[in-house]
Every structure is written in structure tokens, then in C-alpha cells.
Amino acid sequence: MNAIILLGPPGAGKGTLAESLRDETDFIHVSTGDMLRAAIKAGSPIGPGAKVFMEKGELVPDPVILGIIKERIAQAAGDARFMFDGFPRTLEQAKLFDQLLTEIGGTLLKVVNMSVPDDMLIRRLSGRRICKACGAVYHMVNIPPKTEGICDNDGAELYQRPDDNEETVRNRLSVYKNQTAPLISYYREQDLILDVDASMTPGSTYAFTLEALNG
Ligand code: AMP
């Protein structure tokens, strides 16, 4: 198993970049946030506990996250290539992931470090809208759908994530700075970091990242 990690604060565009990379490469997109939202919707046993943390913008405990990651990896072929979006988010998760890679003989190829100024993150998250059916990500100003409130792909309704309100967004940004940003130096020491200026348009961010990953 080979993997890349998309690392960046909420609103950096990890999901949007992952969607583009998934269309052009053989990487399997794994978003722990999407998996947790799906678990809540499906009424899975981990759902109610996870929901309490997510609504506040806090992190779901590491053992729950590692559980869903292990389960997802086990479902794929041994030579699958994964693109993790929103995982790992703590130093403990990163260390447990290293252990897991050693156990299964996997390799972490690169960690894409997406940076964006805070004021831009807040604007991006408050305007973000998501398709109820396919999960495609839009922005009311930056990436508007052809018809307001409707997904271009399938005509389904767009919604705003409950944790994209301003108060929760501010908490998510501070959680990122305190608990997730230390991963940048952790992976820089392993020479795995690819720095990307993710304040560019989605198309430019994608083109830059794809070229850097291939190069
Ligand atoms: P996201 O969709 O990546 O913005 O994640 C939404 C929420 O899910 C986060 O604010 C956390 O509450 C939770 N979450 C997602 N991924 C993780 C993770 N790797 N570790 C802990 N909590 C997570």
C-alpha cells in the first residue's frame, strides 16, 4: 500500500483537491470526515459519540479514527494507493499510522502541506455548500453551481455543513493550530513535505500539486 496525505486547515481545499486528483490518478480518496458523517447517517455504533465532538469542532478520539482507517485499508487490494484527506490530525494518529504502515509494509510517499491565510479560510468555509447526493463541494462565490442551490452533477440539493458556522469554524481553526499543525515539522523531519500555496484557485492548486507529485 502506498499513500499520500493531504494536510491543511479546514477550508484549505483538501476535499476539492482530492476530487481532482481522484479523477486523474489511481489514488483512492479517503476522507475521515466523510466517513464519520456517513457513519452518523447510517446509524452506526460509532456515530452518536463522534457527532458530539464534530458538532463542537473538536477531534474525535484517536482509537475511533484508527479503527475506521484500518477497516478501510483492509477493504482494498494490497497494492492500492490511498490519498488521506483529514487524517492524521494528531501526532498520536501520525505515530499509530507509521506503525500500521510498518506492519503492512506500506509506504508514505508525500505529505501535501496546504497553506492558506486565516481570513481566507473563514470566507471559504462560510460560503461552502455540498451536494446532498454526491458530496461535490461548491462555494457560493468562488465555485458557484450553474443553478443556485443545485448540484451540477446530479441536480440534487446543496446544503451547508452544520460545523461550517462561524463559531465552530473558529474552534476548528484553533484545534488545527494546536493539534494538527505540529505534524508539519514531524513530516518535514522525514523529508516528506510538499509545500503548496493553497490560496490559489482550485485549478492552479491542483495543477501545481499534480506536477510536483509526478516530478
Ligand atoms: P472534516 O470533514 O475533515 O473537516 O472533518 C469534520 C470533523 O470530523 C472534524 O472537525 C472532526 O470533528 C472529525 N474528524 C475528521 N477527521 C478526523 C481525524 N482524523 N481525527 C479526529 N477527528 C476527525
CATH number for position 15: 3.40.50.300
User: What is residue 151's predicted lDDT score, i.e. its pLDDT?
Assistant: 98
State pTM to two decimals.
0.94
Q: Which residue segment(s) compose the domain that 40 sits in? A: 2-117+175-214
Q: Is 109 part of a structural domain of the chain?
A: yes
Q: Is 106 part of a structural domain of the chain?
A: yes
> Among this protein's residues, is 14 annotated catalytic?
yes
Percent of the chain with pLDDT over 70: 100
Q: What is the pLDDT of residues 155-206, one digit of tens each?
A: 999 999 999 998 999 999 999 999 999 999 999 999 999 999 999 999 999 9
> Among this protein's residues, is 170 annotated catalytic?
no
Q: Which of 72, 81, 161, 170 is catalytic?
A: 161
Beta strand ranges found along the chain (DSSP E): 2-7, 28-31, 81-85, 107-115, 128-131, 137-139, 158-159, 193-197
> Among this protein's residues, is 172 annotated catalytic?
yes
Q: Quick one: cell of 119?
A: 481570513
Does 57 contact ligand 1 (Cβ within 6 A)? yes
Total count of domains within the chain: 1
Q: Is 156 part of a structural domain of the chain?
A: no
Nearest to 17 by CA among 213, 209, 214, 212: 209
